[in-house]
Structure 1
Amino acid sequence: MMKYTSLFEAGEPLIATLNDLEVIDNPFWGVKGGKTVNLTLMWFNLPEKFSSQIPKDAAEFTSEEFKNVPELLVDGTDALKYSQPQVNMMGYLGSWMVDHSWDGLKGLDGEVLFEGFAKIFGEK
């Protein structure tokens, strides 16, 4: 959570990796414990570094259409009610989050808080 707070304050997307999590037995799914994994989490928020790049005539995030981006409800048929611009903006945001953080993210104090997708997937 502290990583997310620092990233938010720096205007960055909320992406962090939890390292060396212990896998526990889950007989229902056939998972055997004992190994460790790294888990990268992305929380869709509206980073200032993203929203400041969007021209006001393209999307005003306080307008009725975009005021809930990126926190669009996904209950039942709600997903069918979204406009093409809303869906596109979510796609642009997700793409920007990955691209922007490819080589890592630093928090407000300059500390590297996410080492980047390049470390996970290799070069683009």
Structure 2
Amino acid sequence: MAQLHKRVFEKDKLLPFMQKVLALKEAGQPAVVKEELMVQPNTWWGVKGGYKLEFIILYLETSTDFQQALPQETQQNIAEGSKGLFVNYPIYSTTGNNGDTDPLGLTPAQVNLLAAQGEYSVMQNRQMFESFLSEVAV
């Protein structure tokens, strides 16, 4: 019953969506997927439903294409895993990633690398974003 409070899209649409994400990841590409789904009513959250919603998901995942474009030193640091500068990259822990007392605990280098991956993901899918945003602006 509690799961119904979390749902605004048809449950059977999740697997095809995740298959698209996985295919992009396996191809080394950024996991960026454009979807159009029918919104289901959800009285718990006050969602009326009955309309289509088009959106783009930038799914945070490893992109080997991006990593191969990085400087060799950065690639080596990523490859070092928990012993390198980019512990848990790209899916950093939400608290104490580096064991610091700082609640978030990310270094400037970790934040910059994640921002660079985000930029790369958008730029590799530039036409998708431009098309989507031009439709929204109308």
- TM-score, scaled to structure 2: 0.67
The superposition leaves residues 51-103 of structure 1 with CA deviations (integer Å, 9 ceiling, x where unpaired) of 0111122452123221411110114x555211110011111111111111112
Larger Rg, first or second structure (1 or 2)? 2
> Within the alignment, does 1:40 sit opposite 2:56 as a pair?
yes
| Greater length-normalized contact order (CA 8 Å, ≥ 6 residues apart) | 1
* Matching residue within 105, 119, 129 for 1:117: 129
Q: CA RMSD in A?
A: 2.2
Q: Report the secondary structure of 1:57's partner residue.
A: helix
- Partner residue, 2:47: 31
* 2:112 maps to which of 75, 88, 103: 88
Give the number of the structure whose residues are more often helix, by fraction. Answer: 2
Summarize deviations over 1:17-73 as a string: whole Å, max 9, x none.
222x22222334432121111232221112111001111224521232214111101
User: Normalising by structure 1, what TM-score?
Assistant: 0.74
> 1:73: which partner in 2?
93
* Number of residues of Structure 1 aligned to a counterpart in Structure 2: 109
Which of the numbers 19, 29, 37 marks the counterpart of 1:2?
Answer: 19
Between the aligned partners of 2:105 and 2:87, the Cα distance in structure 1 is 15
Q: Percent identity?
A: 26
Distance in 2, matches of 1:88 and 1:2, equals: 29
